[in-house]
Amino acid sequence: MLLAAKITLALALILGIILPTVYFFMGEKKKGRYKRALAGNILFFFGCMIISTIFMFNASPALAEETTEAAAGVSAAGMAYFSAALAIGMSCIGGGIAVASAASAALGAISEDSSVLGKSLIFVGLAEGVCLYGLIIAFMILGKV
């Protein structure tokens, strides 16, 4: 059962990447196609998150031997993996939003005055640092497992 769950999750993740990408590159680039491709990516992302959460919190005999919380069906290792993934995911989403804002403003400033290149790169680098902090936190969490 566990092998079938892993194969199903792997196929869902692969299809979640391939299908919206293929849909986006096929045909004419219009505003509606961007929205549909984004909606497909969001649908597959949250679908995979729901499936993986169901498999992660599934109480099996292997989990019962590892943890003391097995009666509740929650694995301490599973919670650690979930929290590490959440730390990385949320920090990368925040970092992506910050880089999008900082980089577009930096490009606009550089196009007007090229002497601000160094200052603008510092701000873009600080925005990227948010992602690295999430990665460090995830490694700290996984180091305790």
Paired tokens of 92: 């990368």
Residues 89 and 139 in one domain: yes
Residues 42 and 99 in one domain: no
Region for 73 from its dihedrals, namely left if φ exceeds 0, alpha if ψ lies in -120 to 50, beta otherwise: left
Give the chain's domain count.
2
9, burial (CB in 10 Å: exposed 0-12, middle 13-18, buried 19+): middle
Spatial separation of the C-alpha atoms in residues 139 and 57, rounded to whole Å: 21
Residue 19 lies in a domain: yes
Residues 38 and 83 in one domain: no
| Domain containing residue 98: CATH number | 1.20.20.10
Residue numbers of the domain that contains 145: 74-145
Helix (H, G, I), strand (E, B) or coil at 89: helix
Quote the distance between the C-alpha of residue 62 and its chain's center: 27
The model's pTM is 0.51
Residues 143 and 81 in one domain: yes
Region for 26 from its dihedrals, namely left if φ exceeds 0, alpha if ψ lies in -120 to 50, beta otherwise: beta
- pLDDT tens-digit readout, 12-69: 777 777 777 777 777 676 777 777 777 777 787 777 777 777 766 665 555 445 545 5
Residues 37 and 78 in one domain: no
- pLDDT tens-digit readout, 77-95: 878 888 899 999 999 998 9
Residue 61 lies in a domain: no
